[in-house]
Amino acid sequence: MRLSRWHAMNDDTRFGLNRHIILPGPLALDGGGELAPVEIAYETYGALNADASNAILICHALTMDQHVASAHPITGKPGWWASMVGPGKIIDTDRFCVICPNVIGGCMGSSGPETNAPDGKPWGMRFPVITIRDMVRAQALLLDHLGIGSLYAVIGGSMGGMLTLSWAATYPDRVASALIVASTARHSAQNIAFHEVGRQAIMADPDWRGGDYYADGKTPDAGLAVARMAAHITYMSEQGLTEKFGRQLQNREAKTFGFDADFQIESYLRHQGFSFTDRFDANSYLYITRAMDYWDLAEDHGGVLAHAFKGTNTRFCLVSFDTDWLYPTAESKAVVHALNAAGAAVSFVELASPFGHDAFLLDTPGLEGIIEGFVRAGGQ
Amino acid sequence: MRLSRWHAMNDDTRFGLNRHIILPGPLALDGGGELAPVEIAYETYGALNADASNAILICHALTMDQHVASAHPITGKPGWWASMVGPGKIIDTDRFCVICPNVIGGCMGSSGPETNAPDGKPWGMRFPVITIRDMVRAQALLLDHLGIGSLYAVIGGSMGGMLTLSWAATYPDRVASALIVASTARHSAQNIAFHEVGRQAIMADPDWRGGDYYADGKTPDAGLAVARMAAHITYMSEQGLTEKFGRQLQNREAKTFGFDADFQIESYLRHQGFSFTDRFDANSYLYITRAMDYWDLAEDHGGVLAHAFKGTNTRFCLVSFDTDWLYPTAESKAVVHALNAAGAAVSFVELASPFGHDAFLLDTPGLEGIIEGFVRAGGQ
């Protein structure tokens, strides 16, 4: 179960850590309904300048959150991109105002199945099914609230890259530059398949109870852990797993001929699965994976991806990793081709890393340099 | 739950369909214990000739069974390799006596968690953890019973390929030729990881009850279905999934913005998961995946794979598929290199197929010709 639950903070100011805003909405949703009110939890780092021209929006991945460069309130661990974001760092908060909101559907304070519906009870599975674009539209409401018209840059990896692409397609005039790392313009059948396994694992857990489990604190941890384990395999390359774990045994000299975690990889996966349940909500996992599976940017533009970027003035940069089999290089290249067809300014690089999809969160050679160059040239 | 349970047949003769034998054992196990008695359910097709020189042993994969060319007693479907095995077919039962036993640990009549221990109650998780070599040794007992010394050929795909390799390494004088399709000499960290997800899904199901669920017929179907879904993804290539399903919707015009199986791939996976529970036992899934994870042929030979085949007279043939990412071509090549180092006769081919690991069960161009050539040259 989750160790603690986020509680709304007073919104004394619009900027800083642990911000939370309730916007009246309504937010029209792709699924046809509306969301109101719209709660958004977010962090900002650095000061917004006078003409609000130095704002960088960072979009987080599926299981990440707004704590991009601040300690996680549940785990106490440093922000997920603390190495990249901060004073004097690659994304320099002495120069830029970095904003990172928790996506709607999430479980760190933004509207989602765990937050309360207008009737004062948690939404649970009554929360509407949302899309990546719905998440983006909610973020646009936040930027309106913050008084930020145009963004110097939008940056995101994995699902964050989807949001970044959706930002550029939905609000081209608000995005001067867009950096998309290890991402894709549509979820493939294999991507959907892995998410479906995770959802089935959660829904098979009797503690899930149709998503109505918030009252007594007994949460579907076993199912969520299995979902996380299955997903985690897709974040690592076969090569990386072999280098890191191979067939090494876990704290033992020989196989035990039992069902304990004999192998290090088993022990690692179990830890990943069960520690995840301390910080993530199972229903949020259902909603966010669903939004990702629905993600197909071309679909909203007559099936032609290039049309999503027609006439854009945004400057794009895409990065993929050679061992990423979740969103392989070919997916980034498809976006680059579409951007070329749309006449957009775009640069692209495939980086070498043994660590698969996870490389975007790691100290991958070449990545810092690319982001540094992107940020330097960004809003121009 | 499983639709019906296998019941022992009278062992009127040693050859034919639906054979079942109880051998006194004991069978010494790699894990240190013994198994007694040793039950083996098997099928034979075709007649054994006078000098017992025309026997071909076929080893089945993880979720397959002895019904290689006979209708499955639960599903009613044709045997899993009925296209290959039969009178006048590639593996011609007018000429050969084909034997296919259910592995020990399985759930189609051979000793396994579902069969009774000496105390008259199902073994459940009291069944010993076994290895691929234990399965092979049990099959050798069966061949002794059948009066077959040397095999014209041993043939197996996937886990069946592991058994085939183990046969050649354990009983080199009994194996004239060995055909290994889409297999490996050791389970990788990624292979183990996927199996561990499946096991955790089963054990997380409250109906699993420590494996003691045979009495009341309430079986851990939800967990087993999730395990099957996760595994099934690894049997298909990304390319094959895209060709077969892409992002096509299932019997609907538009996304429903819900958690139904909107996409064909979701519907397909759910079907694969839940239909599997009709014919497979969850505890067997635990035991057989464990045996596969323990599989590392080099480990038993000082860490040098070539030593497993030292001085062998067996003629080998290996086949891999270019889109198989479960046991990729590199794994077959590692075996070929070891066989070369051991001075063994070996041929190898990588076939092109969009269908990933599953290609060994499908009508893959080139596969029939290779098997035909192998069988023709086989016992010489």
Say how many C-beta atoms besides its own lie within 10 A of residue A89's C-beta: 18
pLDDT at A5: 43
Phi, psi (rounded to 5 degrees) for B154: -115, 135
pLDDT at A8: 41
pLDDT at A7: 42
Is there a contact between B140 and B279 (Cβ–Cβ < 8 Å)? no
| Among candidates B128, B222, B294 on the partner chain, residue whose Cβ is nearest the Cβ of A255 | B294
| Among candidates A30, A226, A238 on the partner chain, residue whose Cβ is nearest the Cβ of B200 | A226
pLDDT at B177: 98
Residues of B in contact with A236 (CB under 8 A): 190
Average pLDDT of chain A? 95
Tell me the pLDDT band of A379, cut-offs 50, 70 and 90. low
pLDDT at A217: 84
- What proportion of chain A, given as a percentage, has pLDDT over 70? 96
| Among candidates B32, B189, B286 on the partner chain, residue whose Cβ is nearest the Cβ of A259 | B286
pLDDT at B24: 84
Locate the chain A residue with the closest alpha carbon to B191.
A238
Pick the CATH number of A19-188+296-377 from 3.40.50.1820, 3.40.50.300, 3.60.10.10, 3.40.50.2000: 3.40.50.1820
A253 compared with A140, residue with greater pLDDT: A140
Is there a contact between A298 and A304 (Cβ–Cβ < 8 Å)? yes
CB contact (8 A) between residue A204 and residue B226: yes
Instruction: Catalytic residue, from B60, B353, B357, B358: name it.
Output: B357
CB contact (8 A) between residue A128 and residue B257: yes
Residues A361-377, mean pLDDT to the nearest whole number: 94
* Contact map slice: A 111-130 vs B, CB within 8 A: 125, 128-129
| SS3 state at B94 | coil
Which residues on neighbouring strands pair with residue B319, listed in sequence order? B181, B349
Residues of B in contact with A186 (CB under 8 A): 247
Residue B282, token pair as written in the block: 């969850």
Give the range among A27-31, B224-228, B375-379 with minimum mean pLDDT.
B375-379
Distance, in Å, from the CA atom of B257 to the CA atom of B191, rounded to the nearest integer, reads 34
Decide if B252 touches A, using CB distance below 8 A. no
Decide if B358 touches A, using CB distance below 8 A. no
CB contact (8 A) between residue B222 and residue A245: no
pLDDT at B126: 98
B242–chain A nearest CA distance, Å:
6
CB contact (8 A) between residue A265 and residue B192: yes
pLDDT at B302: 95
| Among candidates B129, B203, B229 on the partner chain, residue whose Cβ is nearest the Cβ of A200 | B229
Residues B52-68, mean pLDDT to the nearest whole number: 98
Q: Is the dihedral of CA A72, A354, A186, A330 positive or negative?
A: positive
Tell me the pLDDT band of A25, cut-offs 50, 70 and 90. confident
pLDDT at A322: 98
- What proportion of chain B, given as a percentage, has pLDDT over 90? 93
From residue A76, give the alpha-carbon distance in Å to each of A79, A85, A339. 9, 17, 40
pLDDT at A2: 64
Is there a contact between B155 and B379 (Cβ–Cβ < 8 Å)? no
SS (H, E, C) A224-256: HHHHHHHHHHHHCCHHHHHHHCCCCECCCCCCC
Residues B249-277, mean pLDDT to the nearest whole number: 95
Locate the chain B residue with the closest alpha carbon to A129.
B257
Please check the confidence at residue A11 and state whether its pLDDT lies above 90.
no
Which residues on neighbouring strands pair with residue A186, listed in sequence order? A296
Q: List pLDDT tens digits, range B8-43.
A: 443 448 999 999 999 988 999 999 999 999 999 999
Phi, psi (rounded to 5 degrees) for A351: -100, 150
Domain spans of chain B? 19-187+296-377, 191-289
Locate the chain A residue with the closest alpha carbon to B200.
A226
Residues of A in contact with B192 (CB under 8 A): 247, 263, 265-266
Cβ-based neighbours of A266, under 8 Å, separated by 6 or more:
A250, B192, B193, B196
Please check the confidence at residue B6 and state whether its pLDDT lies above 60.
no
| Among candidates A193, A197, A265 on the partner chain, residue whose Cβ is nearest the Cβ of B226 | A197
Say how many C-beta atoms besides its own lie within 10 A of residue A31's C-beta: 17
| SS3 state at B282 | helix
Residues B320-345, mean pLDDT to the nearest whole number: 98
Please check the confidence at residue A1 and state whether its pLDDT lies above 60.
no
Tell me the pLDDT band of A13, cut-offs 50, 70 and 90. confident
pLDDT at B10: 39
Is there a contact between B67 and B50 (Cβ–Cβ < 8 Å)? no
Residues B168-188, mean pLDDT to the nearest whole number: 98
Can you identify the CATH homologous superfamily of domain B19-187+296-377?
Alpha/Beta hydrolase fold, catalytic domain (3.40.50.1820)
Q: List pLDDT tens digits, range A79-136.
A: 999 999 999 999 999 999 999 999 999 999 999 999 999 999 999 999 999 999 999 9
Q: List pLDDT tens digits, range A31-73.
A: 999 999 999 999 999 999 999 999 999 999 999 999 999 999 9
User: Which sequence positions of A are flagged as catalytic?
Assistant: 158, 324, 357
pLDDT at B1: 56
Task: Please calculate the CA angle A42-A43-A45 and round it to the nearest 5 degrees.
Answer: 155
| Among candidates A187, A201, A247 on the partner chain, residue whose Cβ is nearest the Cβ of B296 | A247
Residues B75-92, mean pLDDT to the nearest whole number: 97
Distance, in Å, from the CA atom of B71 to the CA atom of A166, rounded to the nearest integer, reads 52
CB contact (8 A) between residue B197 and residue A263: no
Residue B7, token pair as written in the block: 């019941």
Residues of A in contact with B203 (CB under 8 A): 259
Residue B200, token pair as written in the block: 């955790």
Residue B251, token pair as written in the block: 């019997």
Decide if B67 touches A, using CB distance below 8 A. no
pLDDT at A9: 42
* Contact map slice: A 279-338 vs B, CB within 8 A: 286, 290, 293-294, 296, 325
Distance, in Å, from the CA atom of A163 to the CA atom of B19, rounded to the nearest integer, reads 60
* Contact map slice: A 46-65 vs B, CB within 8 A: none
pLDDT at B13: 81
Average pLDDT of chain B? 95
B306–chain A nearest CA distance, Å:
19
pLDDT at B379: 53
pTM: predicted TM-score of the whole model, two decimal places? 0.95
Please check the confidence at residue A238 and state whether its pLDDT lies above 60.
yes
- What proportion of chain B, given as a percentage, has pLDDT over 70? 96
pLDDT at B378: 67
Tell me the pLDDT band of A378, cut-offs 50, 70 and 90. low
Which residues on neighbouring strands pair with residue A315, listed in sequence order? A177, A345
Instruction: Catalytic residue, from B70, B110, B111, B158: name it.
Output: B158
Catalytic annotation present for B357 = yes
pLDDT at A4: 43
Is there a contact between A285 and B225 (Cβ–Cβ < 8 Å)? no
Domain A191-289 has CATH 3.30.200.20: no
Residues A251-267, mean pLDDT to the nearest whole number: 94
